[in-house]
Amino acid sequence: MQIRFDHKTVLVTGAAHGFGRAIAHRFARLGASVWAWDLNAEELQETRAQAEGRCEVRRVDVTDPQAVQEAAQEAGAVDILVNNAGGVLGQVGKPLETVTPKEWNDILAVNLSAAFYTSQAVAPGMKQRRWGRIINISSGAGLGPSLTGIQAYASAKAGLVNLTRQLCHELGPFNITVNCIAPGFVRSNPTTERQWQSYGEEGQRRLLENIALKRLGTAQNIADGVLFFASELADWVSGQVLSVDGGK
């Protein structure tokens, strides 16, 4: 079965680089009309320039519900939503008692609240058309302790897993599936590259030893999982978490 997304409109958040860019490009190459959102306007232009297909980009702050609603209205009828925006926002792991309320709330906003806002914005149209796909990008940190040591990041990604399960039951009667990808460690952007280098040779070796396939994955591996959930191959799959991590 050949997977195609002709006549489908796809919205990908956090699409300036890494997973989001790879996901946007894969959908565009497979016939979809893609909207790519991010705060990084410069790298968004690179996403559009490298796309092999239709890819419109917009600078959108997904932690701002009004901005999300306005941008979603411009995108029109979104068939497939990929909630990829997230990250650690330059934070590093530190003792619980030293974490400020702003540090905590900022990470929850971009990793969890943003997915709620975008889902909230596109769900009415999906319900009206009685078809839709929502795919959330969580993390291995949502299933266990985070390599980053950042409490808010682990909590937000775990919250995204349960938001997936909750929305699955709410939206299922409208033929909308909601699923989740939990990526393992991938060197896909400047943040993960810095994290990789910080481990040193010994830490890198230990990380690889804990992966069944003994190698790191790529952003394309994550995009492949998204394509599966978005395709007709997953027509009766909802509320699921797929770990794309090389085996743990």
HSE of 111 in the Cβ direction (CA atoms, 13 Å)?
27
3 state SS of 1: coil
Contact 216, 172 (CB under 8 A): no
Whole-angstrom CA distances from 119 to 25, 62, 168, 241 are 21, 11, 12, 17
Per the annotation, the verdict on 117 as an active-site residue is no
Q: Is 130 exposed, middle or buried, given 0-12, 13-18 or 19+ CB atoms closer than 10 A?
A: exposed
Catalytic-role residue among 117, 153, 185, 229: 153
Torsion, CA 184, CA 187, CA 191, CA 195, rounded to 10:
80
Helix (H, G, I), strand (E, B) or coil at 119: helix
Q: Any residues with CB less than 8 A from the CB of 152 and at least 6 apart, and which? A: 91, 99, 103, 104, 105, 106, 107, 108, 111
Which residues participate in catalysis according to the annotation? 153
